[in-house]
Amino acid sequence: MTSKEKLEMEKMVVVEGSYAVAHAVKVCRPNVISAYPITPQTHIVEGLSQFMADGEIPNCEYINVESEFSALSALVGSSAVGARCYSATTSQGLELMHEVLFNVSGMRLPIVMTVVNRAVSAPINIWNDQQDSISQRDTGWIQLYAENLQEAADMIAQAYKIAEDKEVLLPAMVCMDGFILSHVYEPVILLEQELTDKYLPPYEPLYKLDPKKPMTFGALADPNYYTEFRYLQQKAMENALKKIESAANEFYEIFGRYYGGLIDEYQTEDADIILMAMGSIAGTIKDTIDNLRQNGVKVGLLKVRAFRPFPAEAIRKTIKDAKVVVVLDKNISLGLNEGALFTETKSCLYNTKNRVPVVGYMIGHGGRDIRMCTIEKIISEAQEIMKSGIKIESQFTDVREELI
């Protein structure tokens, strides 16, 4: 063990994922927190409430709203006044926010929100998949996905850095898998206040609601003006591509931790088979890869950290020499029979010379356990595709035929 590793070990504490996130929010010095309780997000907002009760978050107000709709609506007002704002939600709560999500992005308010990913009703189900945040794909929010507790916590600071950048000014969702990350205890390094202050300067809004300098927010834009608002949001998303990378790099310089920028790669250099996925499933895939590599299977992982903006260029570059690409999605577009990452990965290759076969597996719906043996089976099917081509382009994984 190097002395640096030893020092890091000493800093580690074993905490629940939700606590690590709540602590990260605290050291980012928010001014207004507004949230409504919903499983499995509750431990985050309980943690923040306790920090408030103990006077540990200075210059901050916590609003106990009556719904998720009002949780985010309140932050529209707060952010417009110039406050750094935070909320957390999941599943039904996120879907209830749908209308407000568009509004926040359209008004270019850099609110950061944790989405503790959970399945969407009906049937009601409190366990993990990523249908909730994927369903909000087009609302104009940056979407980042964390693999483990440390990344979920560290991503909060990175998200503020990206969202508040003057060339971006877009809201950001930090997505973490429900229960798998939110309720698990792991050793993590809690973000240090001093280092976080160095990394994340106070939020200085370009425009704000101020009686000394009256401005109109949320005006009506008729057909002469509406298009340009959308165009500028798209430009801001494009700017965010660079900022997500630089936020990760600057984070590494100050904290010494790095998980990739837009994407991260694991054993992809010589890989014939590249798996793509988002969130905690990356850990299971990496363990599976380690096992299979011992048997000489050339397989690697492309972990997508940023789903919006979509990292098309980074994906194209990473998979350029692969012989087959396998995309795992914890979501489905019903009627298309594809997960979103799969559809968009195919889309970003279409007008290129790369004709690599791409197949999709929808997996882990409603919290169904994803085992290493399942990943192994998927990889063995990919080996067949290398030999004899695609037979099934996109499919459900682990369907219990006996129940149908």
Partner 1 sequence: MKHLFVSGHRGCAGCCDAMATKFTLMGAGENCIVVSPTGCLEVMTTPFPESSWNVPWIHSLFENAAAVASGIEAALKALGKKDNTRVVAIGGDGATMDIGLQAISGAFERGHDFTYVCIDNEAYMNTGVQRSSGTPFDASTTTSPAGKISFGNPRPKKNMPAIIAAHGSPYVATTSLGYAKDMINKVKKATETVGPTYIHCHAPCTTGWGFDTSKTVEVAQMAVKTGLWPLFEMENGEITKVRKIGKPAPVEDYLRMQSRFKHLFTKEGGEEEIAKIQAIADKNIEYYGL
Nearer to partner 1, 32 or 173 (CB): 32
Minimum CB separation from partner 1 for residue 369, in Å?
38
Residue of 355, 349, 370 whose CA lies nearest to 278 = 370
Minimum CB separation from partner 1 for residue 333, in Å?
27
Say whether residue 95 binds partner 1 (CB under 8 A).
no
Stretch that binds partner 1, among 96-104, 133-141, 318-326, 354-362 (CB under 8 A): 96-104
- Six-digit token pair at 158? 């990175």
Minimum CB separation from partner 1 for residue 313, in Å?
34
Q: Compute φ and ψ for 390, nearest 5 degrees.
A: -75, 130
Q: Which of 8, 37, 70, 186 binds partner 1 (CB under 8 A)?
A: 70
Query: Are 63 and 45 contacting, i.e. CB atoms less than 8 angstroms apart?
Result: no
Say whether residue 88 binds partner 1 (CB under 8 A).
no
Say whether residue 66 binds partner 1 (CB under 8 A).
yes
The 10 Å Cβ neighbour count of residue 21 is 30
Query: Are 331 and 119 contacting, i.e. CB atoms less than 8 angstroms apart?
Result: no
> At a CB cut-off of 8 Å and minimum separation 6, what does 175 contact?
114, 115, 117, 130, 133, 143, 144, 145, 146, 278, 279
Contact pattern from residue 219 through residue 238 relative to partner 1, giving x for each residue in contact according to CB under 8 A and a dash for the rest: xxxx--x-------------
Contact pattern from residue 24 through residue 63 relative to partner 1, giving x for each residue in contact according to CB under 8 A and a dash for the rest: -------xx-x------------------------xxx-x
Cα angle at 202 between 201 and 208, to 5 degrees?
Answer: 140
Contact pattern from residue 182 through residue 221 relative to partner 1, giving x for each residue in contact according to CB under 8 A and a dash for the rest: ---------------------------xxx-xxxxxxxxx
Minimum CB separation from partner 1 for residue 165, in Å?
21
Rounded to whole angstroms, the Cα distance separating 65 from 37 reads 9
Minimum CB separation from partner 1 for residue 354, in Å?
43
Nearer to partner 1, 138 or 238 (CB): 138
User: In b/e form, how buried is each residue of 312-347, taking b as 16+ CB within 10 angstroms?
Assistant: bebbeebbeebbbbbbbbbbbbeeeebbbbbbbbbe
Residue type, 245: E
- By CB under 8 A, name the binding residues for partner 1: 31-32, 34, 59-61, 63-67, 69-70, 73-83, 85, 99-100, 103, 107, 209-211, 213-222, 225
